[in-house]
Amino acid sequence: MNALYIICGLGFAALLTEIFSFRKALQGIILIGLVAAFIAAAMDWHTAKAYFNNMVLFDQGALSFTLLLIFITACWFWINRDYFEDQLHQTDRSGLILFSLSGGVMMSAYHNMAMLFLGIEVLSISLYVLAGSRKESLLSNESAFKYFIMGSFATGFLLMGIALVYGATGTFDISVLATKLGEGHVPEFVYPGILLILVGMLFKISAVPFHFWAPDVYDGAPVPITAYMATVVKTAAVAAFWRMFAIGLGTSKSTWIQPIEVVTVLTLVIPSVIAVYQTSLKRMMAWSSVGQIGYLLLAFISQPSGTALPVYYLLAYGMASLIAFAVVVEVEKADGSGAGVNGLFKRHTGFGVLLTLSLLSLAGIPPLAGFMAKYQVLVSAVQADHIGLTLVAVLSSLIGVFYYLRVIVLVFSNNAQQKDRLIVSPNRVVLLAILAALILMTGLLPDSLLSLLSVRF
């Protein structure tokens, strides 16, 4: 809980910089504060503490996701420091990012459906503004509008579901809900309520067929915000989804596995096929981000109560995505468009290698973390006798290898139009290289991390 207090405090500090005139030190303060929040969350490891009359519960699962959220956000702030060079909006953007992170932490640790709703709204409202922060761009404005409309629909489904569940059980507490569902003495309309909650959450994680907002929103938003949405926001949404099913549905989880299997197949296949036809790296990454949810859903079906697989998968995916989007940012700054990376290796050897490594990890090529994450998911699915889903996942992964390798070929292309060399801050290259090293390390040594994260709700 101390981590949440620190993050909220950083958000208020960002808003007060105009009054106390410490704008130049703000980014340093935020990074130090996020490190402090990470340490505070780590110090609570192996404890389970409830707050606010059991509305929030920081157990091992919540702490795992909280640590991951803080780590990715700190990396994002460091990589995208140039995004905050606009002095006019620096404090606004910093504050909104931090408040959205606090909403993500609440989504990871809620034990009461009212707190789930509050966390989603705190996260979403900040992002509605950030998605449209490039006011001169019609695409950015369209992105914000679509995100607002689709987010409102998703929230409507979620609220209606919560209302029906509360009417049927008389509680917002997800542990009490699990107990009542296990006893079986609940009105029948509790099941439509759970279905609506399901739909609302599937919207938030952008699973097919509730994904249609994601590619356009990701494509239209400023690239740094797209990176944030594809990593931090997706992690928070998955954490909320996991918590509801691991705790809220209790022993009745098996009832909902079959509908989730259908969604999983659609999410594995459709985005992978569509990504093949994309010519923009940013839009291809958007469809890839949707497709990654299919593997997370497969992990959920295989281990409904475990947190190790999703956290490990999201860590591998998050680090690789941050590197890829950082490259898109630099190409966009140099060329006015992040659509093409032709001949990137010639323009900046380091960035060419880093982008290649990140795409290979996303494609699931050994010995990188992305491969080990997908391998662990597939092994778990086979052990749970989901052979058909495993074959679909393997097919989807092979399609993914094709479109990722196609981009890598362009990176090393000799036939690209001659362009100026990329001028990139050495600090940024060093941080991205550290992330690349972590991708390799977590791929080579997964067992220790997985055993540390092997906690069941």
Q: What is the pLDDT of residue 256?
A: 82
State how far the Cα of 239 lies from the Cα of 107, in Å rounded to an integer.
Answer: 7
CA torsion 47-308-242-324 (nearest 10°) is 120
Percent of all residues in the chain with a pLDDT value above 70, rounded to a whole number: 93
Mean of pLDDT over the chain: 87
Lookup: tokens for 441: 């390390």
| pLDDT band (50, 70, 90) for residue 336 | low
Cβ(217)–Cβ(130) below 8 Å: no
Cβ(58)–Cβ(44) below 8 Å: yes
Average pLDDT over residues 41-70: 89
**Of 433, 417, 413, nearest in space to 425 by CA:** 433
| pLDDT band (50, 70, 90) for residue 322 | very high
Q: Which residue has the higher pLDDT, 254 or 10?
A: 10
Q: What is the pLDDT of residue 25?
A: 78
State how far the Cα of 274 lies from the Cα of 15, in Å rounded to an integer.
Answer: 41
456 has pLDDT over 50? no
Q: Per mean pLDDT, which range of 20-29, 190-199, 413-422 is the poorest? A: 413-422
Biggest CA pair distance of the chain: 71
- Burial of residue 372 (CB within 10 Å: 0-12, 13-18, 19+) is buried
Average pLDDT over residues 221-245: 91
Q: What is the pLDDT of residues 71-83, one digit of tens each?
A: 999 999 988 877 6
Q: What is the pLDDT of residue 361?
A: 94
Q: What is the pLDDT of residue 111?
A: 93
The radius of gyration of the chain from alpha carbons, rounded to an integer in Å, stands at 21
CA-based torsion, 272, 274, 276, 278: positive or negative: negative
187: preceding bond cis by omega (within 30 degrees) = no
Q: What is the pLDDT of residue 84?
A: 65
Domain boundaries, the chain: 2-453
Contacting residues for 392 by C-beta, under 8 A, at least 6 apart: 264, 265, 268, 269
Q: What is the pLDDT of residue 264?
A: 94
Give the phi and the psi of residue 215 in degrees, each rounded to 5: -60, -40
Q: Which residue has the higher pLDDT, 445 or 261?
A: 261
- Burial of residue 299 (CB within 10 Å: 0-12, 13-18, 19+) is buried
Contacting residues for 84 by C-beta, under 8 A, at least 6 apart: 26, 27, 90, 93, 94
Kindly give the pairing relationship between strand 56-58 and strand 49-51: antiparallel
**Of 210, 192, 214, nearest in space to 201 by CA:** 210
Max mean pLDDT range (84-88, 211-215, 390-394, 449-453): 390-394
State how far the Cα of 74 lies from the Cα of 68, in Å rounded to an integer.
Answer: 10
Lookup: tokens for 32: 């130090």
State how far the Cα of 155 lies from the Cα of 84, in Å rounded to an integer.
Answer: 30
Average pLDDT over residues 166-185: 88
Cβ(124)–Cβ(186) below 8 Å: no
Lookup: tokens for 70: 């803080």
Give the phi and the psi of residue 2 in degrees, each rounded to 5: -60, -35
Q: What is the pLDDT of residues 8-51, one digit of tens each?
A: 999 988 888 877 777 777 888 899 999 999 999 999 887 888 88
Average pLDDT over residues 127-150: 85
Q: Which residue has the higher pLDDT, 152 or 305?
A: 152
Give the phi and the psi of residue 423 in degrees, each rounded to 5: -105, 110
Q: Which residue has the higher pLDDT, 133 or 289?
A: 289
| pLDDT band (50, 70, 90) for residue 337 | low
Which amino acid appears at position 14 of this protein?
A
State how far the Cα of 291 lies from the Cα of 269, in Å rounded to an integer.
Answer: 8
Whole-model pTM: value is: 0.92
